[in-house]
Structure 1
Amino acid sequence: MAASTVPGAPVRVTYVISAVNKALAFEWIAKHLNPSKVALSFILLNPGDSELEQYIRGLELPVARVIYRGKADLLRAIREVRSQLKTWKSQVVHTHLFDANVVGLLAAWSVGVPRRILTRHHSTLHHQYFPRAVYYDRFTNTLTTHIVAITEMVKRILVEKEGVKPQKIRLIHHGFDLATFMQPKPERVAALRQKYKTQDAYPVIGVIARQTEWKGIQYIIPAFATLREQYPSAKLLLANAHGDYQKEIQALLQQYLPAESYEQIRFENDLGSLYQLFDVYVHTPIDDHSEAFGQTYVEALAAGIPAVFTLSGVAPEFIRHEENALVVPFADSAAIAAAMQRYLTDPTLRAHVQTTGQAVATQRFGLDTYLCALEDLYCG
């Protein structure tokens, strides 16, 4: 598809996204990407309507829904995406997530879209757990003109494990509308305290992680049980509480904790307010490579919540022990318990990591820096 370019006209960029109901990152891009440089449109591969689709329509940006429920819809989805790309005369296609990579890049390649980009949102997940999916990753890599690596670790995986040429890769960290986490509305925070019954709990330990093995929640639960021996009113909030390891997590909760000491939250829209319920935040993936990015590392620091981390995903690039967080070894419940205890007994440490954490989040992960990098990628 040879799309004519009018000098000075914005570049026509189409996002193809699969299996997303709501995502703040795409909302921020839709709202804030400079329309004088980028004419943005969206194709959403979903089985039905979504909060993201409603949000985009509210901004009056072009959006098309392609019904997609699985591989049986693959060929029809490719045809529909091809047709939409031709209608919009897209000059750039940027795909996000596995099905969108396959459908969107095949469609874009087949109609001759000159710039075809995917953002790699997973790290070694397929290599470890779904080896057949690695063939699809290698295939979609070949269909691109550019690949966005969201961390240095993802870049290493692409180059060392999948043979992608380094010059094809752009390292672009996620950007955040940090005010969402730094300046939540007090009335919303109060409403969530009541909703999740934390008014009389202390300390409240927060976890926001899908319940899958490599997230390491199985090591946080025994650590929290140890903490409760000294703090009987402590409460554990497990948000994003769903996933393929949910049965095992439930068994551990029943083994270690009384029912009133924890709350499982399948989904909470207002993450900026939710963080403010936590006295300590914990995120402890089991190795350095399973997490591709880990947005929660940035969110927790931006929210000013003292955090206990293992170094996975983006964390090795900016998390520093006793400077902006406490770092613990992988798969170590005793170390997690000890780190939580340190925060609760050392107010000077708490204040220090809160201040330096918010500073580094602001310096490295602001939304403006992210949007400028995307504009350069699309227009350069």
Structure 2
Amino acid sequence: MKVVQVLPSLDGGGVERGTLEIAKGLVDAGHESIVISAGGRMVPQLEREGSRHRQWDLGRKSPLTFLHIRAVRRWLQREKPDILHLRSRLPAWICWLAWKGLPADQRPRLVTTVHGLYSVNRYSAIMCRGERVIAVSETVRDYVVNNYPQTDTETIRVIYRGVDPDEFPGGFRPSDDWLAGWYQCYPRLQGQRVLTLPGRLTRLKGHHDFIDLIKGLRASGFPVQGLIVGGEDPKRRAYAAEIRERIVRESLDECLVLTGARQDIREIFAVSDLVLSLSTKPESFGRTVVEALTLGVPVVGYDHGGVGEVLRQLYPQGRVPLGDAGALLAAVRNRLEQPQPRPRNDIFLLSDMVAQTLSCYRELVD
């Protein structure tokens, strides 16, 4: 098969990582893989792993982007891919209009992936127009069925995002060099119980709930340290300042650390006693939850959306009702006070995600 995946850019993120994982899976299985994007820091890895990259900015939010439709159509006629896989809304509109303008016998088979719980409107509806619509969780499948009833449910395939257990092995311990550097940077974390909240500094990630949790634990005799791991959103700097100001105002700067964006989340999870997922808005999946549990690190999170779905299957004792501060405090104290069996992940695996996606492609090509 020749498969083309399309997304806005390759600068990093969950959609981008999944694109590279499928691209590598295609190449490893002897297929031809092409990715269209505006480029980014992940392109060298993509090409090193055997895919071709076609640099095309189809995600720029401008009416001028629609001028690419004819060029995309001509390119599809030249390349003759078997599968066109669309992973983001604006590039999906450009490619769908190009695809629709081809003679029916010249069209590649069309696959879309619904990665998020997008705002419900005509613009987002394009992600449900594939001949196969991949939902990254049952939460996303329900979102599609409930909000886009014109979508034929027979076309929907639930394919969970997956984690490579070789990359996140159970019981993983960071190298001595990493540990030395980490504790040199954050010496007060050494020998302490560490709770970690991953996620960019945006209001929906539940940072205020996390601060309340740390306050409550320390007030009840648990001298924990809290880590907030994530970069600032350039559009929401005022919120990041609000979080920092609250930490200082409430004299929590000795027990709460903001690390900023980090590339070593595996190591950070491995030195954490507990990982939290406190998004106030339901998420489509919850990859960080799966990564932590795959390492064997317990997770406590709000029981809704994709995070609740993951916890129900891998670590049900980690679920707490959305926004229930008392239940959250009790669940975390219980995890800290009582030794728990190490979590394990045998459901959300990268190998399964790749195999099921390639199977979805073959359904259409065959």
TM-score (norm. length: structure 1): 0.81
Aligned alpha-carbon RMSD (Å): 2.7
- The one of 23, 26, 43 equivalent to 1:30 is 23
- The one of 132, 136, 145 equivalent to 2:123 is 136
Q: 2:192 matched to which residue of 1?
A: 202
Q: Which stretch of structure 1 is more off in the superposition, 369-378 or 210-219?
A: 210-219
Q: 2:139 matched to which residue of 1?
A: 153
Q: 1:105 matched to which residue of 2?
A: 96
Say whether the 8 Å CA contact 2:206–2:280 is kept in structure 1.
Answer: yes
Structure 1 unmatched ranges of 5 or more:
1-10, 128-133
Say whether the 8 Å CA contact 1:116–1:145 is kept in structure 2.
Answer: yes
- Counterpart residue type for residue 103 of structure 1: I
- The one of 75, 80, 83 equivalent to 1:92 is 83
1:249 equivalenced with 2:243 (yes/no): yes
Partner SS for 1:50:
coil
**What are the equivalent positions in structure 2 for 1:317-328 lying under 5 Å apart?**
317-320=309-312, 325-328=317-320
Q: 1:59 matched to which residue of 2?
A: 49
Say whether the 8 Å CA contact 1:184–1:272 is kept in structure 2.
Answer: no
- The one of 302, 307, 320 equivalent to 1:310 is 302
Number of corresponding residues: 348
Aligned counterparts of 1:206 and 1:215: Cα–Cα separation in 2: 13
- Counterpart residue type for residue 105 of structure 1: W
Aligned counterparts of 1:73 and 1:256: Cα–Cα separation in 2: 49
Aligned counterparts of 2:313 and 2:245: Cα–Cα separation in 1: 32
The alpha-carbon deviation at position 295 of structure 1 amounts to 0.9
Q: 1:40 matched to which residue of 2?
A: 33
Aligned counterparts of 2:278 and 2:67: Cα–Cα separation in 1: 41
Partner SS for 2:99:
helix
What percentage of aligned pairs have identical amino acids? 21
- The one of 7, 27, 32 equivalent to 1:17 is 7
Partner SS for 1:282:
strand
1:227 equivalenced with 2:217 (yes/no): yes
Aligned in 2, Cα 1:323/1:139: closer, same or farther, shift over 3 Å?
Answer: closer
Aligned in 2, Cα 1:259/1:86: closer, same or farther, shift over 3 Å?
Answer: farther
Aligned in 2, Cα 1:223/1:101: closer, same or farther, shift over 3 Å?
Answer: same
Say whether the 8 Å CA contact 2:299–2:315 is kept in structure 1.
Answer: no
Say whether the 8 Å CA contact 1:310–1:327 is kept in structure 2.
Answer: yes
The alpha-carbon deviation at position 35 of structure 1 amounts to 4.2
1:366 equivalenced with 2:349 (yes/no): yes
1:268 equivalenced with 2:257 (yes/no): no
Q: 2:321 matched to which residue of 1?
A: 329
Aligned in 2, Cα 1:200/1:274: closer, same or farther, shift over 3 Å?
Answer: closer
- The one of 293, 296, 307 equivalent to 2:285 is 293
Partner SS for 2:195:
strand
- Counterpart residue type for residue 285 of structure 2: F
Say whether the 8 Å CA contact 1:44–1:53 is kept in structure 2.
Answer: no
Aligned counterparts of 2:134 and 2:334: Cα–Cα separation in 1: 38
Partner SS for 1:286:
coil
Say whether the 8 Å CA contact 1:175–1:368 is kept in structure 2.
Answer: yes
Say whether the 8 Å CA contact 1:25–1:176 is kept in structure 2.
Answer: no
Q: Write out per-residue CA displacement over residues 27-60 of structure 1, whole angstroms, 9 at most, x where no aligned residue.
A: 3323333544531111113xxx422112112224
Aligned in 2, Cα 1:338/1:57: closer, same or farther, shift over 3 Å?
Answer: same
Say whether the 8 Å CA contact 1:82–1:107 is kept in structure 2.
Answer: yes
Q: Write out per-residue CA displacement over residues 113-153 of structure 1, whole angstroms, 9 at most, x where no aligned residue.
A: 33111110112x414xxxxxx211124433x2111011112
The alpha-carbon deviation at position 187 of structure 1 amounts to 4.2
Q: Write out per-residue CA displacement over residues 54-110 of structure 1, whole angstroms, 9 at most, x where no aligned residue.
A: 211222421022235432542244455444434432221112123332233333333
Q: 1:70 matched to which residue of 2?
A: 61
Aligned counterparts of 2:306 and 2:10: Cα–Cα separation in 1: 22
Q: 2:154 matched to which residue of 1?
A: 167
1:186 equivalenced with 2:175 (yes/no): yes
Say whether the 8 Å CA contact 2:83–2:361 is kept in structure 1.
Answer: yes
Say whether the 8 Å CA contact 1:41–1:62 is kept in structure 2.
Answer: yes
Say whether the 8 Å CA contact 1:93–1:116 is kept in structure 2.
Answer: yes
Say whether the 8 Å CA contact 1:43–1:81 is kept in structure 2.
Answer: no
Say whether the 8 Å CA contact 2:24–2:50 is kept in structure 1.
Answer: no
Aligned in 2, Cα 1:364/1:257: closer, same or farther, shift over 3 Å?
Answer: farther
Partner SS for 1:167:
helix
Aligned counterparts of 2:350 and 2:2: Cα–Cα separation in 1: 21
The alpha-carbon deviation at position 20 of structure 1 amounts to 4.0
Say whether the 8 Å CA contact 1:148–1:172 is kept in structure 2.
Answer: yes
Q: 1:279 matched to which residue of 2?
A: 273
- Counterpart residue type for residue 24 of structure 2: K
Structure 2 unmatched ranges of 5 or more:
none
Aligned in 2, Cα 1:188/1:22: closer, same or farther, shift over 3 Å?
Answer: farther
Partner SS for 1:118:
strand
